[in-house]
Amino acid sequence: MTTDAALIDPNNAVDFLIAVAGKFAAAKSERVYLEEFRKTKKALLMNLSPERSAVAREQYAYSHPEYQQLLEGLRAAVEAEETLKFKIIAAQLRVEVWRSQNANNRGQDRVMR
């Protein structure tokens, strides 16, 4: 007899959590690094600007291709982190569903006896 609980293997979910932990940490550290480096890149690009006013130098930095490339990298880092985060949440939910189903099965077994 195959039950829904048999279709969800909590061991696979836990193995996934263990396997993806390092990838998630790396994705998060990449995102945080890029968020912080963005400030440095802006300052470096502002220093390269031939303009005198702070507003013009800031415009130069924000419109510079290197800054735009950094933003694309940040976009990819956030996407990678969020994808892993929600896969981790899904694996955790699978374990919780399995636990609930087993508790329900134990309750039904007690009633049937």
Tell me how far apart the alpha carbons of residues 103 and 92 are, in angstroms, rounded to a whole number.
17
Mean pLDDT by 10 residues, the chain (113 residues): 55 89 96 97 97 97 98 97 94 90 79 73
Angle between helix 65-112 and helix 10-48 axes, rounded to 10 deg: 160
Q: What confidence score (pLDDT) does residue 1 get?
A: 40
Structure tokens at 83: 């994808």
Cα torsion for 26, 29, 30, 31, to the nearest 10°?
Answer: 130
SS (H, E, C) 29-68: HHHHHHHHHHHHHHHHHHHHCCCCCHHHHHHHHHHCHHHH
Cα torsion for 99, 103, 108, 112, to the nearest 10°?
Answer: 120
Q: Which domains does the chain have, with CATH numbers?
A: 9-107 (1.10.287)
Q: What confidence score (pLDDT) does residue 8 get?
A: 65
Q: What confidence score (pLDDT) does residue 45 get?
A: 98
